[in-house]
Amino acid sequence: MTADDTSDLAARLRRSLARQLVQAGSLNDPAWRKAVESVPRELFVGGAIAGATEYGGRWQVTHRDDVSDDEWLRLVYSDTTWVTQIDRDMVENGHGILRGIPTSSSTLPGLVVQMLEAARITDGDKVIEVGTGTGYSAGLMCHRLGDSAVTSIEYDPVVAGRARQALTAAGYAPTLVIGDGLNGYDKNAEYDRLIATCSVRFIPFPWMWQVRDGGTITAPLSGWMHGSAFAHLTLTDDGTASGRFLKDDVYFMIARPHDSPPLASPYLRGEKRASRVDPNILDDQAGLFVGQLAAPSAMKLGKGDAVILLDVATGSQAGTEADPQGGWTVRQHGPLRLWDAVEDAILTWQEAGSPHQSAFGLTVTRDRQYVWLGDPDGPSWNLPA
Ligand SMILES: C[S@@+](CC[C@H](N)C(=O)[O-])C[C@H]1O[C@@H](n2cnc3c(N)ncnc32)[C@H](O)[C@@H]1O
């Protein structure tokens, strides 16, 4: 293929990706459509990409030189998350199947635009992004808002360096910061919108000072059980922020400083008693989110009938199993009765009709961050802020 053929094909694939995202309902705003049709994703994914395999935790690497130009561009413009770093090592250093946990990626374009639309970013907004990654989403924002309106922060210096190169090659020059995005970037504050393309266990306080009153924070809320909900908060002039979770089911890798410590070994003790809830409910995304609210510093092992919760802060543990006589039993030990708390939360949620995460909301004050069910005066759970 000549260079002209390659660039024609890339332009066609960009238009076709945009059409596909419109049809899927994730791209509605014509201004973002133009951005998707213009920003060359091939500059951002680098020289090698890794895709999910059917085996969890294993990733198939494709190098740019392993395939034809045509095939490479078709991969680049598929609506897929391409992992670019695993366990902090760039994918391009590996071959074949890699094992590990993704630490940076080019998120699937459908999710990137869904996020930009959910944040209600409009022309004239000044935006800060936490989690530059490959720089593709920053490129879309620069295309629409202009370089001076975009600040993006990346924790990993190698990833940030690649993003800078890609953005420069694509003709964009936002403020790029290497550092912990949980601190925001006060030099360019105040911002109209803050978006995070990594998830957080709670809203970092610097974000509250750097977004203007009436501005918004859009961030996936997650935790150590991997339950998630998509927060969209509006700041008020009394220094609080509040909002109901959005209907979109999004999951982003957790912000590095909020990641879980190494898993402890289960060591179950305590008397067996009947469980008041079916542990299988934690295999449901909304059920898992509710369980995580009740035990915010616990990690979860297992699934189905046999679930183990390990609390990092206190060493408390709980484990369930099916009872041959019917139902389930639980054993728990340690200062926190983890399963009691999970049961209470699940029963409260079930009494409300087991709704999706969008029936919950989050309020952030100076003293407390809490997730509520129904409205801010309803049942609530504190986040580990
Ligand atoms: C899913 S990727 C971002 C996708 C990206 N926006 C794109 O368009 O391709 C998440 C990124 O967040 C970064 N990250 C994690 N914790 C962070 C933090 N505390 N501050 C800034 N970046 C962080 C990771 O290194 C990773 O590159």
Per-residue tens of pLDDT for the chain, all 385 residues: 787 878 899 999 999 999 999 999 999 999 999 999 999 999 999 999 999 998 888 999 999 999 999 999 999 999 999 999 999 999 999 999 999 999 999 999 999 999 999 999 999 999 999 999 999 999 999 999 999 999 999 999 999 999 999 999 999 999 999 999 999 999 999 999 999 999 999 999 999 999 999 999 999 999 999 999 999 999 999 999 999 999 988 889 999 999 999 888 888 888 999 999 999 999 999 999 999 999 999 999 999 999 999 999 899 999 999 999 999 999 999 999 999 999 999 999 999 999 999 999 999 999 999 999 999 999 999 999 8
CA distance 27 to 21: 5
Residue 131, CA distances (Å) to 67, 171, 370 in order: 29, 20, 24
Classify burial at 278, counting beta carbons within 10 Å of its beta carbon; exposed 0-12, middle 13-18, buried 19 or more.
middle
Q: Is the CB of 131 under 6 A from ligand 1?
A: yes
Res 195: pLDDT: 98
Catalytic residue list contains 104? yes
pTM: 0.95
Domain 16-42+108-231: assigned CATH number: 3.40.50.150
Report how far apart the first and last C-alpha atoms of the chain are (Å, whole number): 54
Res 175: pLDDT: 98
Atom 16 (ligand 1) nearest CA = 255
Res 266: pLDDT: 87
Residue 10, CA distances (Å) to 5, 38, 138 in order: 9, 10, 19
Atom 17 (ligand 1) nearest CA = 255
CA distance 332 to 334: 7
Res 310: pLDDT: 96
Distance 270 CA to ligand 1 centre (A): 41
Res 262: pLDDT: 86
Distance 107 CA to ligand 1 centre (A): 10
Ligand 1 atom, smallest distance to 159 CA = 27
Q: Which residue has 């408390």 as its token pair?
A: 316
- Indicate the residue type of 201: R
Res 56: pLDDT: 83
List residues bridging with 219 in a β-sheet: 231
Contact between residue 295 and residue 338 where contact means Cβ atoms under 8 Å apart: yes
CA distance 151 to 175: 5
Ligand 1 atom, smallest distance to 152 CA = 21
Q: For the chain, what are the domain ranges?
A: 16-42+108-231, 264-351
- Does the domain made of 264-351 have the CATH classification 3.30.310? yes
- Indicate the residue type of 24: A
CA distance 151 to 125: 12
Distance 157 CA to ligand 1 centre (A): 11
Res 164: pLDDT: 98
Res 117: pLDDT: 96
What percent helix, strand, coil does the chain show, rounded to 5?
Answer: 35, 30, 35
Cα four-point dihedral sign 366, 367, 373, 375: negative
